[in-house]
Chain A
Amino acid sequence: MSIQHHLSDDTLLRHAAGRLGAGLALVTAAHLHGCAHCRGRLAAFEAVGGALLEMEAPAAMAPSAFSNVLARLEERPAPPPVLRAPRRAALNLPPEMTLPPVLAGCDIGRWLWLGRGVRYSRVRLPWAPDANVMLLRVAASRAVVSHAHAAQELTQILHGGYSDSTGQYGPGDIAEHDETVLHQPRADEEGCICLAALEGGLRLDGWMGRVQHRLGL
């Protein structure tokens, strides 16, 4: 199925600039993995970075700068860090579903109850322990209590789908919400599994509020 909902210009620009928080960047990368269209747009925004670098007025380097670097050219690069194996709970995902490769280094906790028909699993990024990332699983045809959003939320659909006032979302689609959105998503017949990151210190109502509470935000 082709992707209907893409990343916004603003989010892609901030990703290109390296200015997205680690959680939002992870979900953005999950979408980019499956979306050549957004990868093309990202390349254009990275070219903005290249242009800004070229337009920069040169700042004098230290007199020893070049000889320092020259002396290090033959240095053997530091060996890649030994990463511990990620901790994974048994998630009982649908057999045809695979997790996006960007989750490879992440710890994933077991499903926890969040509300009727809604469960979440905490995703921990060893490189950014304070990032708020989770898998969400909404049961078939279940409507989620109307809720407001954190300052920014990104939700990448991994399996199944849902509909709300902003449209119909399926696998590969990404939903972007901010605190101005109030909506009531309803999961499709096969339910919905998605990867979500939230950022921003707004107190939330409804089930996202319970996520905040559980995560100790």
Chain B
Amino acid sequence: MRAGVIQTGGARVQADVSKHEAKFSMGLRGPTLRRGALLTPVDAPAPLDAAAQARLLGLVATARDRPAFAMLFKHFAPRLKAFHMRAGLAETAAEELAQETMLLLWRKAGSFDPARAGAATWVFTITRNLRTDQARRHRGGLPEPPPEEDLSPSAETLSLEAERAARMRGALATLSEAHRQVIELSFFSEAPHAGIATALNLPLGTVKSRIRLALSRLRDALGAEP
């Protein structure tokens, strides 16, 4: 049982990680296959809901509010670490990436636009880009120039962005385990098709058609999108 204690300008925030561990830590852990999350009840109370996340991010952006940052850290950092460990990173690397992501969250909070994406989705894209940059540097690549412009999605999808992550969790929950598995593995496996084929011991063609089917089921569950 561990409890992380975070110190913030005199205010003490108790990060009761052990409680969540008890609730979530069933099943196997591995670089690619996860069973624990597949069994996780999706309606388990989220410690910080999407609206609270967006509000706290707004406080960080406009007021450089450290208690707000502390709450976001308590919520996101342990999930980011777990996310990267599931994707195959060693614990120290995952820890480091989670910390770097939180630092970027602080710096970039001003560019978070709740009309464009949910807070968790925005955090996900930050950490995804960090990991990609790191992987390229490891292979001898130079930094990629930052994109010149910030293009928005089409107007008809825009109004749906903010609430999407929450609805997406619901939609993922309606998928069969086999379908949810291939979608998750697309995120957590280094070489998606081949990696999934190996992890599930399936032919490559079967993996590809299963992904197509899983995505079409996901689209059905969401209504008309994505």
Interface positions of A (Cβ within 8 A of B): 9-10, 13-14, 17-19, 22, 32-33, 36-37, 39-63, 65-70, 72-73, 77, 80-81, 83, 101-102, 104-105, 125-130
Contacts and interface: CB of A to CB of B under 8 A. Distances in A.
A188 to B, nearest CB: 28
Nearest to B145: A105
Contacts of A32: 151
A62 B148 contact: no
B157 A43 contact: yes
B154 A36 contact: yes
Nearest to B24: A57
A57 B36 contact: yes
Contact of A77 (B69, B107, B120): B107
B75 to A, nearest CB: 8
Given A10-B208, A81-B142, A105-B144, 7 more contacts: A48-B168, A53-B76, A55-B169, A57-B21, A58-B81, A66-B6, A72-B103
Contact of B143 (A60, A73, A127): A127
List 4 tightest A-B contacts by C-beta distance, closest first.
A44-B226, A50-B121, A57-B24, A58-B78
Contacts, number: 236
A51 B129 contact: no
B42 A55 contact: yes
Contact of B187 (A17, A63, A130): A17
Contacts of B107: 77
Contacts of A60: 2, 4, 17, 21, 78
Given A49-B121, A66-B7, A56 B82 contact: yes
Contacts of A67: 6-7
Contacts of B169: 51, 54-55
A39 B140 contact: no
B20 A41 contact: no
B211 interface: yes
16 contacts: A39-B153, A41-B226, A42-B153, A43-B121, A44-B225, A47-B117, A47-B121, A50-B164, A53-B120, A56-B37, A58-B17, A58-B82, A59-B78, A67-B7, A69-B99, A73-B103
Nearest to B124: A49
A39 B186 contact: no
Contact of A101 (B125, B148, B215): B148
Nearest to B122: A50
B149 A40 contact: no
Interface string B150-171: 0111111110010011101100
Contacts of A104: 145, 148
Nearest to B79: A56
A44 B132 CA distance: 20
Contacts of B145: 83, 104-105
Contacts of B46: 54
A52 B124 CA distance: 9
A70 B94 CA distance: 18
Interface string B95-107: 1001100110011
B80 A57 contact: no
A105 B129 CA distance: 17
Contacts of A105: 144-145
B111 interface: no
A54 B79 contact: yes
